Amino acid sequence: MQTVTSADGTRIAYERRGDGPPLVLLHGGLTRRYWDPFVPHVADDFTVVVPDRRGRGDSGDAAAYSIEREVADARAVIDAVEGEPVLFGHSFGGLQAIEAARGAPVAGVVAFEPAYLDDEYRESADLAARMQTRLDAGDREGAAKLHLREVVHGGEIDDFDAWLDEWPVWPAPVDHVENSLRMNRAIEAHPLPDSLDVDAPALLLAGSEGPAHLHDSVRAISEALSDARLVEIEGVGHGGPTEAPARVAAEVRAFLKAASPRTA
């Protein structure tokens, strides 16, 4: 494991695997371990750099929190690698990747259902408030369930508890519920710009079974980027990079081969 110091002095931990052009993987919830099922599918072609977000895994934290600080963390990791990396972010990590690419030289950006909220959904979003109510009542597990039901399933699932029983990482999200709350509060206050000034090709990925509100956001993001390709992967939900890692890795390779032969 290696570390880098972010702009506000927070220590960000990351690990490297593989060999080739740099590919930085930015997770959404949980920790860098989210990417474990995906990394073997790309480590033969890339030097894979996988950081923990602040407040998670082996990274440090600060009392103050903002999306801008998370973006600065990603840029600190970018500065620590040799050459211009490709950024691949999932969920919040997708937002983090796109925002980091607005102010740092990168070879490309890939985002799987990035956590921007389109204006119509964002203006009525109350997930953070509902989570706070559960936390105030001492119900950390209930707050984590609210987060997962909305973010992973868009609030629509017939038997959520049965799904949780089969989900390999439950109940780990309970350990990070306070961080998920502050993240959701920041996302709900973060408008999607009409234009995203990213000077690199972008691939936007979505699962056909992912939340409807993120599908709306992905389309809006595609319009806001000057050079973006949008691909929907059939039969996959919000956890696409770990649900179908080989299929997602194939889309990433095809995109990078077309966008820049030197990164393929």
Distance from the Cα of residue 20 to its chain's centroid = 23
Q: Is the dihedral of CA 77, 83, 88, 92 positive or negative?
A: positive
Q: Which residue has the higher pLDDT, 119 or 220?
A: 220
Q: Where are the beta strands (DSSP E) in the chain?
A: 2-5, 11-18, 22-26, 47-51, 86-90, 108-112, 202-207, 228-233
> Do residues 100 and 87 touch, judged by C-beta distance below 8 A?
yes
pLDDT at residue 198 in the model: 96
Does pLDDT of 105 surpass 50? yes
Reported as a single tens digit per residue, the pLDDT across 182-230 is 999 999 999 999 999 999 999 999 999 999 999 999 999 999 999 999 9
Contact 27, 15 (CB under 8 A): no
If pLDDT is split at 50, 70 and 90, which confidence band does 262 have? very low
pLDDT class of 157 with cuts at 50, 70, 90: confident
Q: Where do we find the tokens 């690199």?
A: 200
Beta strand 22-26 pairing with 47-51? parallel
Q: Please provide the CATH number assigned to the domain covering 2-118+193-263.
A: 3.40.50.1820
Lowest mean pLDDT among 91-100, 124-133, 183-192, 253-262: 253-262
Residue 234: phi and psi, rounded to 5, are -65, 135
Q: DSSP for 17-40?
A: EESSSEEEEE-SSS-GGGGTTTGG
**What is the rounded distance in angstroms from the CA atom of residue 38 to the CA atom of residue 44?**
12
Give the tokens for residue 100.
Answer: 């980091």
Residue 120: the pLDDT is 87
In whole angstroms, what is the distance from residue 192 CA to residue 108 CA? 20
Collapse the DSSP code of 118 into the 3-class scheme (helix H, G, I; strand E, B; otherwise coil) and give the result.
Answer: coil
Helix (H, G, I), strand (E, B) or coil at 238: coil
For the stretch 234-251, pLDDT in tens is 999 999 999 999 999 999
- Taking the alpha carbons at both ends of the chain, their separation in whole angstroms is 26
Q: How many CB atoms lie within 10 A of CB 30?
A: 19
Q: Is the pLDDT of residue 261 over 50?
A: no
**Average pLDDT for the chain:** 94
* Domain spans of the chain, in order of start: 2-118+193-263, 123-185
- In 3D space, the residue among 253, 254, 260, 255 whose CA is nearest the CA of residue 43 turns out to be 253
pLDDT digits (tens, 9 = 90+) for 32-73: 999 999 999 999 999 999 999 999 999 999 999 999 999 999
Round to whole Å and give the CA distance between 100 and 248: 22
Per-residue pLDDT band for 24 (boundaries 50, 70, 90) equals: very high
CB contact at 8 A, 88 and 65: no
β strands within 137-222, DSSP E: 202-207
C-alpha count within 13 angstroms, C-beta hemisphere, residue 201: 14
**Cα–chain-centroid distance for residue 175?**
18
Residue 264 pLDDT greater than 80, yes or no? no
Per-residue pLDDT, 119: 87
Q: Is residue 122 scored above 60 in pLDDT?
A: yes
pLDDT at 260: 59
Instruction: Determine the 3-state secondary structure of 114 from DSSP.
Output: coil
Residue 137: Cβ-neighbour burial (10 angstroms; 0-12, 13-18, 19+): exposed
Q: Quick one: average pLDDT of 99-123?
A: 94
Residue 17's pLDDT is what? 95
